[in-house]
């Protein structure tokens, strides 16, 4: 998952509204979101390593998202899959704080959407050696945490609108700034419009490339910085493969939709859906009411 935008406890009647894109190499085998019967999790599956990028465990009132932290200078070819981190959290009975402690991460100060400067790498902090750089957003009942092995810390998030890509939470990359703004506008909608997936697909499929002077310098070269600056990425071998929207209401009613995209794009150059999946459930699982539409 490479772009995540969320309105956390700042929209009337909703605990969470989340919209996200997953960017990946086309050749990596993937299964769309489904129910994992042994663990009670709803998530897609990375068939190559067994992990996931976004998932929900209604019975434990848990959800989460993982993104890579772009740091090519420190990439290890023998590192474990970062998607297995999220799968492990969702299937476990651990809280985010306990899970982070097992990774060697320390509690940090609470974060707000207007915290100012993004986090920085903790000097001298040993990164968990099994994994390349990662970000995790972990929901647990009425709490939401952000953690990264780049900072070595875990942070409770205050209500507000957040954006996360392949750097620190709320780092003002053009697509992060744009996505936060779009979600803020959508969050002001009333009635059924707030849960109309088409409203979210419209901004998640934005293919605009950022201007060169706004691009970050992450060590991948100018051409790749340009390619990766779009919310919806398209190239011959790598791009946006799926998008998700998750709504969790304050009364625990939840709904998630996932759209898988045809990749690479055809001659029209416009994203086209190849599969839609939708699930509804209760968080926490007071009645264990679950329905699915495929």
SS (H, E, C) the chain: CCEEEEEEEEECCEEEEEEEEEEEECCCCEEEEEEECCCCEEEEEECCCCCCCEEEEHHHCEEEEEEECCCHHHCCCCCECCHHHHHHHHHCCCCHHHHHHHCCCEECCCECCCCCCCCCCCCCCCCCCCECCEEEEEEECCEEEEEECCCCEEEEECCEEEEECCCCCCCCCHHHHHHHHHHHHHHCCCHHHHHCHHHHHHHHCCCCCCCHHHCCCCCCCHHHHHHHCCCCCECCCEEEEEEEEEEEECCCEEEEEEEEECCCCCCCCCCCEEEEEEEEEECCCCCCCEEEEC
Q: Whole-angstrom Cα distance, residue 291 to residue 282? A: 10
Could you tell me the pTM of the whole model? 0.93
Please count the other Cβ atoms lying within 10 Å of the Cβ belonging to residue 79.
Answer: 15
Question: 255: which strand partners?
Answer: 247, 280
- Please give the share of the chain, as a percent, with pLDDT higher than 70: 91
Look at residue 65 in the predicted model and tell me its pLDDT: 98
Query: Cis omega (within 30 of 0) on the bond before 7?
Result: no
Any residues with CB less than 8 A from the CB of 20 and at least 6 apart, and which?
Answer: 1, 3, 4, 5, 54, 65, 204, 243, 244, 245
Confidence band for 124, pLDDT divided at 50, 70 and 90: very low
Characterize 81-92 residue by residue with b for buried, 16 or more Cβ atoms within 10 angstroms of its Cβ, and e for exposed. Answer: bbbbbbbebbbe
Confidence band for 126, pLDDT divided at 50, 70 and 90: very low
CB of 43 closer than 8 Å to CB of 36: yes
Q: Whole-angstrom Cα distance, residue 248 to residue 16? A: 5
Domain ranges of the chain: 3-293
Q: Which range (27-31, 48-52, 199-203, 267-271) has the least confidence?
A: 267-271
Question: Out of 3.60.60.10, 3.40.50.10310, 3.30.70.270, 3.40.718.10, which CATH number does the structure's domain 3-293 have?
Answer: 3.60.60.10
Look at residue 121 in the predicted model and tell me its pLDDT: 59
Q: Which of 75, 70, 69 is nearest to 225 (CA)?
A: 70
Look at residue 128 in the predicted model and tell me its pLDDT: 55
Does pLDDT of 116 surpass 90?
Answer: no
pLDDT in tens, 205-216: 999 999 999 999
pLDDT in tens, 237-271: 999 999 999 999 999 999 999 999 999 999 899 99
Please count the other Cβ atoms lying within 10 Å of the Cβ belonging to residue 75.
Answer: 12
Question: 278: which strand partners?
Answer: 257, 293
In the structure encoding, which two tokens stand for residue 5, read together?
């935008």
Chain centre distance of CA 260: 15
């Amino acid at each position: 998952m490479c772009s995540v935008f969320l309105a956390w406890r700042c929209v009337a009647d909703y605990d969470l509204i989340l919209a996200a894109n997953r960017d990946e190499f086309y050749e990596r085998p993937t299964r769309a979101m489904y129910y994992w019967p042994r663990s009670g999790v709803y998530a897609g599956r990375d068939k190559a390593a067994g992990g996931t990028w976004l998932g929900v465990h209604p019975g434990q009132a848990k959800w989460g998202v993982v993104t890579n932290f772009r740091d090519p200078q420190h990439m290890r070819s023998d590192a474990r899959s970062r998607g297995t981190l999220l799968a492990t959290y969702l299937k476990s009975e651990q809280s985010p704080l306990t899970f982070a402690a097992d990774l060697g991460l320390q509690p940090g100060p609470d974060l707000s959407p207007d915290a100012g400067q993004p986090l920085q790498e903790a000097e001298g902090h040993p990164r968990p050696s099994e994994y390349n750089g990662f970000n995790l957003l972990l929901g647990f009942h009425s709490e939401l945490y952000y953690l990264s092995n780049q900072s070595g810390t875990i942070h409770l998030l205050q209500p507000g609108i957040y954006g996360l890509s392949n750097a620190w939470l709320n780092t003002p990359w053009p697509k992060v700034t744009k996505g936060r703004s779009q979600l803020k506008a959508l969050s002001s909608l009333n009635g059924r419009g707030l849960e109309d997936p088409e409203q979210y697909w419209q901004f998640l499929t934005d293919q605009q490339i950022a201007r060169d002077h706004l691009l970050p310098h992450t060590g991948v070269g100018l051409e790749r910085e340009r390619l990766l600056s779009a919310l919806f990425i398209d190239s011959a071998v790598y791009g946006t493969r799926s998008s998700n929207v998750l709504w969790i209401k304050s009364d625990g009613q939840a709904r998630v939709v996932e759209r898988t995209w045809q990749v690479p794009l055809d001659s029209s150059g416009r994203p086209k859906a190849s599969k839609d999946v939708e699930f509804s459930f209760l968080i926490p699982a007071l009645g264990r009411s679950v329905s699915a539409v495929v």
